[in-house]
Amino acid sequence: MQIRPILAALRSHKTAVTLLVLEIALTMAILGNLVFIVYGTLQRSRTPTGVAEGQIGLIQSIGVIGEDNPGTVGDNIALLQRVPGVVAATFGGPPLWYDSASNAFLDPDRQHRVARMYEFTGGQGLSRTLGLHLVEGHDLQPEDLPDASQWGSVKEVPALITRALAAKLFPGGRALGQRFYDGTSAVRVQGVVDHLRAEITGRPDDDYSVVIEYRVGAQDMGGGFMIRSEPGRLEPTLLAAAAALQKANPGHVQNKVYTMAELRERYFRSDLATGRMLVAILLILLVVTALGVSGLASFWVQQRRRQIGMRRALGATRGDILRYFQAENFLIVTAGVVLGAVFAFALNLFLMHRFELARLPTGYLAVGALVLWALGQLAVLGPALRAAAVPPVVATRSV
């Protein structure tokens, strides 16, 4: 296959070739960035929170001040633990659900904020209910827990922190036994867990979390109650637990009963919806580009019928003609892809500036190039086959 005659032929169609290259380059620029955005969303929606997601359910039971309510938090936790199928239960909320962020300081005067962290605060058994993986130190011990009557006014609390937060607060050193400060009290690191993400935004501080337990008992508090069920039995167990909790607390309003999977679905709902719209736009883009390529290709085939006939008459096989058009398309798409890579980075810079998008990794451009090469070959196949079918006798006819 000789490239030179193809280039010579393309030179006499400068306008059309330029437009085609431009179109492919623009497609490439948008394609690369869109795939990057969509794939990023998808990846984010699959990032684990670090808790036993398949087994955790939430019951939001809101206390109504002024309504008679015999239940206490301690009773409620005990009651939930007695529900068949419940492995652990506590008072407190799971990740991806109204998580409160707070500031972490290393100095007691709280002058220099070191990190922004998520505080998981709840009753005894919070870390066990979440099913966290301890990698260092030991779990919170019941006898160390501050009493819930001191909620918010304790001088120092024992806590578990994530490995990411430990590395941020105490770089290089051992975090165990160390102290840091949140808005109201000192926090003593009792253990380190591998991951606990309150939110999944893609930023590293998603995984900056601290777990604090209080000993709850005689209080009548509403809020989130959480259960961890035996594997595979979450839904029936959660329903039974919710029913039992409502029965024991007639003065509460049970507002939401969610499994962790439902919370995750709600959390990513609008992101995934956006992703779907972007995929729709992507498909339109590819269709339009394919239409453009095949439209111009069929125009060229029609225009060159005589030349094709001559080549056939001079001994070129159908395969030669087919390959000629395929090679021509490959050259044009390649030029488009090269120009498109530049456009893609330019567009990425713009998106980074306006929408805080991350930098486009070059891998996406390789994917974009492969897609466009394949698309180009697919689009040109029809016209090229038609060209290959031109009989040699055409050469002898005048137009």
Partner 1 sequence: MPGYYLDLALRSLKRTPILAGLMMLAIALGIGASITMLTVLHNLSGNPLPGRSDVLFHPQVDPRPADLPGASDEPPDDLTYIDAVNLYKLGAVPRRAVMSSNWLPTRRDAPGTALAMETDRATTADFFAMFGVPFVYGSAWSAQDDASHAQVVVLSQVLNQKLFGGADSVGKTVVIATKIFRVVGVIGDWNPQPRFYDVDGGAFNDADQMYLPFFTWLDLPQDYGYGPMNCWGNDPNAGEHDPKAPQCTWAQFWVELDTPAQVESYRQALVHYSGQQRQMGRFQRAPNVRLRGLLDWLDAKHVIPVTVRMQTWIAFGVFLICMVNTVGLMVAKFLRKSGEIGVRRALGAARRDVFAQCLIEAGVIGVAGGLFGLPLAWLGLWMVRQQPVSFAASAHLDLAMLGAALALAVVAALGAGAWPAWRASRVAPALQVKSL
* Contacting residues toward partner 1, per CB under 8 A: 15-16, 19-20, 22-23, 26-27, 29-30, 34, 62-67, 100-103, 105, 110, 113, 152, 183-184, 253, 255, 269-270, 273-274, 276-278, 280-281, 284-285, 287-289, 291-292, 294-296, 298-299, 302-303, 347, 351, 354-355
Give whichever of 42 and 253 is closer to partner 1, judged by the CB atom: 253
Length of the chain: 399
Interaxial angle between packed helices 260-303 and 305-313, expressed in degrees from 0 to 180 and rounded to the nearest 10: 70
What backbone phi and psi angles, to 5 degrees, belong to 331?
-65, -45
Distance CA 260, CA 97 (A): 9
Least spacing, CB of residue 110 vs partner 1, in Å:
5
Give whichever of 317 and 396 is closer to partner 1, judged by the CB atom: 396
Ramachandran assignment for 359, one of left (phi > 0), alpha (psi -120 to 50 degrees), beta (any other): beta
Burial of 212 (C-beta count, 10 Å sphere; 0-12/13-18/19+) = buried
Distance CA 383, CA 86 (A): 65
Least spacing, CB of residue 399 vs partner 1, in Å:
9
Q: How far is CA 190 from CA 58, 102, 154, in A?
A: 26, 19, 16
Least spacing, CB of residue 271 vs partner 1, in Å:
8
Least spacing, CB of residue 277 vs partner 1, in Å:
6
Give whichever of 21 and 164 is closer to partner 1, judged by the CB atom: 21
Q: Which amino acid is at 304?
A: R
Give whichever of 87 and 261 is closer to partner 1, judged by the CB atom: 261
Give whichever of 16 and 367 is closer to partner 1, judged by the CB atom: 16
Least spacing, CB of residue 225 vs partner 1, in Å:
16
Least spacing, CB of residue 105 vs partner 1, in Å:
8
First-to-last alpha carbon distance for the chain, in angstroms, is 28
Distance CA 132, CA 126 (A): 9
Q: DSSP characters for 94-109?
A: -TTSSPEEEEEESSTT
Least spacing, CB of residue 297 vs partner 1, in Å:
10
Angle, vertex CA 201, rays to CA 135 and CA 89, nearest 5: 50
Q: How far is CA 110 from CA 113, 118, 161, 184, 308, in A?
A: 7, 17, 19, 10, 81
Give whichever of 21 and 132 is closer to partner 1, judged by the CB atom: 21
Hey, what are 314's tokens? Answer: 């001079």
Scanning the structure block, which residue is given the tokens 């169609």?
A: 13
Least spacing, CB of residue 141 vs partner 1, in Å:
26
Least spacing, CB of residue 64 vs partner 1, in Å:
4
Secondary-structure percent of the chain, ordered helix, strand, coil, rounded to 5: 55, 20, 30
Torsion sign, CA atoms 218, 219, 223, 224: negative
Give whichever of 288 and 393 is closer to partner 1, judged by the CB atom: 288
Least spacing, CB of residue 164 vs partner 1, in Å:
21
Q: Are 134 and 163 in contact (CB under 8 A)?
A: no
Give whichever of 179 and 269 is closer to partner 1, judged by the CB atom: 269
Give whichever of 284 and 349 is closer to partner 1, judged by the CB atom: 284
Give whichever of 88 and 120 is closer to partner 1, judged by the CB atom: 120
Distance CA 397, CA 266 (A): 68
Angle, vertex CA 353, rays to CA 349 and CA 359, nearest 5: 45
